[in-house]
Structure 1
């Protein structure tokens, strides 16, 4: 899944606030608001010699827009007067919607919620192919609701494939089980759905578990959350989903049944 994550990383956007002059409460509320757009917030202290309280939206070194923090707070309805400061925020806000939402350090509960949403898309369509990585097969075997969901997908007409390290067995499941015996996919929670020919139903979720030295991972790999959480990318954009299918076929074509 590394190639998929590298591809999706181009959608990571950050809002850097220089010389923030507001309260910690405003900063927390702003971070929560931006998180809804998949935008990461960071602050940089200044020496006061230049303009302060300025927000710059960027993707790596590419600047996407800038505005005053007052205008942004007013637009987000976070304790700021609208006045003349609201207008500069409009251009930068137009950059917030994204084809890919980026979330750092999602909990298992949050990951399940997103997965269920995408599984329901496939269930409503009742066609196409869905690939889901569970890391270990015990993750699906131990959840009656998940087993029922994937059985329902097959009954509805969806070709469902589940992947995981075979730490347990699954007795006669109606969906196709692919054993990841080499553990190539064990660090990743993913779901790819081709929409069954309907571009409005495509969906993809690609996540990497945040590991620490204690859990066998690399703490220098810049994971965004504690062990057991996930750095996640998810999208319903047809072009992006198609690219992810192609990349998955290139990287794991011997394992993923993408052409079945």
Structure 2
């Protein structure tokens, strides 16, 4: 098994994402379609009625079961109307991460993202890091392609400094162009292989089942990625075991 194989073989879930907005629903639908690029997610505007929520996004599974409701303002504030500077500069701390439920429930759906549209993957990686921050005596694995990227973005460095100083057993992966120095219980895994060069992942495990999470992504071209996230505890443990066995020190 490899990271690429995990992405290929994850059972594909299907989701319907419906926008309820009585002002300008179509522009919001277009923005979400650009952000959420997956044939497994159907996005459209819902018909407003007294029974429907106002200015909200509802996520349903393929059977029509409602999974989550989030306000449009929540989703706009974290992925639609911001850019990556929010994360690069560390403007939002790890304690302030509050990913809308409607985005979290797009789990186990395979995505393709290009350029600035990767905000969705950035948001979910921050969310899983925040699960690590909130967990006790957990293990968090994070792949950066190149280890220097931890220092290149001030916001990322702040997050991992906090995690390194916590009870988290922190494992960092990437090519050794520049190995960062972090305090605490931090293990560096480095090897000049294509998998680490092309993979982006965050895995939080060895904790309560409801705190486990994984984001896996693989670069497919310049600023192009494919991947998914999952909160299935068994699946998270499976990926953690793979990383431990493949890159054991």
Instruction: Sort the TM-score into its range (normalised by shorter chain).
Output: 0.5 to 0.7
**Compared with structure 1, are the counterparts of its residues 159 and 35 closer, same or farther at alpha carbon in structure 2 (3 Å cutoff)?**
same
Please name the residue that 1:165 is paired with.
Answer: 175
Larger-gyration structure (1/2): 1
Q: 1:161 is paired with a residue of what secondary structure? A: strand
Please name the residue that 2:111 is paired with.
Answer: 103
- Structure 2 gap ranges (5+): 17-24, 52-59, 68-104
Distance 1:41 1:26 in 2: 20
Please name the residue that 1:77 is paired with.
Answer: 46
**How many Å apart are 1:138 and its aligned residue?**
1.6
The match for 2:247 among 242, 255, 260 is: 255
Distance 1:170 1:90 in 2: 42
Q: 1:186 is paired with a residue of what secondary structure? A: helix
What's the CA shift string for 1:28-68, capped at 9, x where partnerless? Answer: 938947976x85269xxxxxxxxxxxxxx9xxxxxxxxxxx
Distance 1:41 1:245 in 2: 26
**How many Å apart are 1:162 and its aligned residue?**
0.7
**Compared with structure 1, are the counterparts of its residues 165 and 28 closer, same or farther at alpha carbon in structure 2 (3 Å cutoff)?**
same
Distance 2:109 2:40 in 1: 14
The match for 2:161 among 148, 151, 176 is: 151
Distance 1:145 1:176 in 2: 20
Counterpart contact for 2:113–2:225, Cα < 8 Å: yes
Distance 2:145 2:214 in 1: 16
**How many Å apart are 1:255 and its aligned residue?**
1.1
Please name the residue that 2:223 is paired with.
Answer: 228
TM-score (norm 2): 0.61
Counterpart contact for 1:131–1:191, Cα < 8 Å: yes
**How many Å apart are 1:239 and its aligned residue?**
2.4
**Compared with structure 1, are the counterparts of its residues 5 and 161 closer, same or farther at alpha carbon in structure 2 (3 Å cutoff)?**
same
- Note the aligned Cα RMSD (angstroms): 3.7
Distance 2:229 2:65 in 1: 20
Please name the residue that 1:187 is paired with.
Answer: 198
- Structure 1 gap ranges (5+): 16-24, 43-56, 58-71, 83-88, 212-226
What's the CA shift string for 1:76-115, capped at 9, x where partnerless? Answer: 51589x9xxxxxx997423986651332215444332221
TM-score (norm 1): 0.59
Please name the residue that 2:71 is paired with.
Answer: none
Q: 2:133 is paired with a residue of what secondary structure? A: helix
Distance 1:91 1:172 in 2: 44
Distance 1:13 1:150 in 2: 33
Distance 2:61 2:14 in 1: 17
